[in-house]
């Protein structure tokens, strides 16, 4: 992931909770579950601003991430992964929610909030009521990306592994 154009900024922890979902494929990202959860928290009276972004240029997507507090990405237990959009969002200091498999989640100290789709509304409510989660996860997500997804660090790891194999 090219981190050069992904500027870190702290999340605004006041005002409405700004939530972004940007599926490239609604079925794969389980957008229906996201929309259901958003409807539920809106009916509960939470002050949120939800943005659904589709079919935009990458530069526009990066800009949208910077304007939001919380990013909901892969909410599909069939896949249990996080992807480039999650990485780019964390690089910018945004809290990310996905559904991750335990084997992936346990292997690293991932700052991604891993939940099942049916728990999304309650997690949004929890974050809404405790905005410090955004600040903490945003910073730890940025640090995680710098450590594990930084191209220079990745190259160093590959070189070290080659040296170990080649002797």
Read off the pLDDT of residues 86-103 as tens digits, 9 standing for 90 and up: 999 999 999 999 999 887
Q: What percent of the chain has pLDDT over 70?
A: 98
Range in 23-27, 112-116, 136-140, 149-153 with the lowest mean pLDDT? 149-153
Domains of the chain: 17-166 (3.40.50.2000)
pLDDT value at residue 102: 81
pLDDT value at residue 24: 95
Greater pLDDT, 151 or 10? 10
Greater pLDDT, 146 or 43? 43
pLDDT value at residue 13: 87
Q: What is the pTM of this model?
A: 0.91
The DSSP secondary structure of 73-141, one letter per residue, reads ----TTT----HHHHHHHHTT-EEEE---HHHHHHTT--SEE--GGGHHHHHHHHHH-THHHHHHHHHH
User: What 3-state class would DSSP assign to 66?
Assistant: helix
Alpha carbon distances (Å) from 77 to 63, 66, 73:
28, 27, 12
Q: What percent of the chain has pLDDT over 90?
A: 76
Mean pLDDT of 61-79: 97
């Amino acid at each position: 992931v090219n981190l050069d154009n992904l500027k870190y900024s702290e999340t605004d922890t006041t005002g409405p909770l700004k939530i972004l979902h940007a599926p490239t494929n609604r079925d794969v990202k389980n957008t229906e579950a996201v929309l259901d959860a958003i409807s539920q928290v809106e009916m509960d009276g939470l002050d949120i601003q939800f943005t659904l972004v589709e079919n935009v240029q990458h530069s526009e997507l990066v800009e949208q991430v910077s304007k939001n507090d919380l990013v909901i990405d892969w909410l599909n237990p069939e896949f249990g992964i996080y992807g480039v959009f999650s990485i780019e969002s964390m690089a910018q200091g945004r809290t990310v929610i996905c559904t991750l498999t335990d084997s992936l989640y346990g292997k690293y100290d991932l700052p991604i909030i891993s939940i099942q789709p049916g728990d999304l509304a309650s997690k949004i409510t929890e974050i809404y009521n405790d905005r410090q989660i955004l600040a903490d996860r945003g910073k730890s997500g940025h640090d995680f990306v710098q450590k594990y997804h930084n191209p220079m660090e990745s190259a160093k790891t590959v070189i070290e592994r080659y040296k170990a194999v080649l002797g």
